[in-house]
Chains A and B, each alone.
Chain A
């Protein structure tokens, strides 16, 4: 398998950064490094991961403050060049706040923080993040969030569907997300946001290796 150098951005309050780095480096044997949120540059990384957590304590709105971290200017420029950016959970929320993906997150319909393994249907296989997946395949990947209730206006939802940009849907919607959306890509297909945690399902010891296929897809792209 090809090698790619990954950068995992660390915001104050990120808490899945070490898990992501561990999976990329130790499980998958890829070069990977942390990038502090105050860094103005991404160095020579070839793919960027915005990890899960509670950046800035989720103050104001999830991802709202992190989106103004210095590193985010570099991430926006990086994304413009078509290189891969994946935002997981809080990373997805940051991508939405930054406008790299459309829509917004609301509190879960139940108002409860939901932490469990869920089943996801692959709606759009192929591309940068799902080329190791098959359309219709069911993945088992954990979620852990209080604000994963995806919202977008009807015109945006129509566009996402028409352009085939809904990559993953929940089979049993855990949070009230519109269209059962669990993960979407931007129009170019190089920015992916998803609420489930692929880094928590990348080793058999953790009960599922389905998440690793998403990281492997980035390597193949």
Chain B
């Protein structure tokens, strides 16, 4: 079973990378873009036998302790039970 964890800067935190990407897109002619936020995606593959409920508990713990810095970042995840 696989999970995808998405870590992004909180809305209240200025995102210099997102700003740079936005201005690059703008200069390329993509004037429809209002804002860009840049984050990271972490794919976690569990060992066989993991149940989705237990995986969610583990993911929350992982995010709080290591994967995200909750001072500046938000996190969410998607579990794909079929993977």
Contacts and interface: CB of A to CB of B under 8 A. Distances in A.
Interface of A: 60-61, 64-65, 68, 96-97, 102-104, 106-111, 149, 151-153, 176
B69 A104 contact: yes
A141 to B, nearest CB: 24
Interface string B28-70: 0000000000000000000000000000000000000011010
Nearest to A156: B71
A68 B66 CA distance: 9
Given A60-B66, A64-B66, A151 B72 contact: yes
A111 B16 contact: yes
Interface of B: 9, 12-14, 16-17, 20, 66-67, 69, 71-72
10 contacts: A60-B66, A61-B69, A68-B66, A102-B71, A103-B71, A104-B69, A106-B16, A107-B16, A109-B14, A110-B16
Q: Most chain-A Cβ atoms within 10 A of its Cβ — which of B14, B20, B71?
A: B71
B10 to A, nearest CB: 9
Nearest to A112: B16
A152 B71 contact: yes
Contacts of B17: 107, 111
B49 to A, nearest CB: 26
A111 B20 contact: yes
A97 B69 contact: yes
B19 to A, nearest CB: 9
B38 to A, nearest CB: 10
Nearest to A178: B14
A22 B69 CA distance: 34
B71 A149 contact: no
A135 B30 CA distance: 50
Given A60-B66, A61-B69, A149 B13 contact: no
A27 B72 CA distance: 39
A151 B70 CA distance: 12
Nearest to B72: A104
A106 B13 contact: yes
Contacts of A151: 13, 71-72
A181 to B, nearest CB: 14
Contacts of B71: 96, 102-104, 151-153
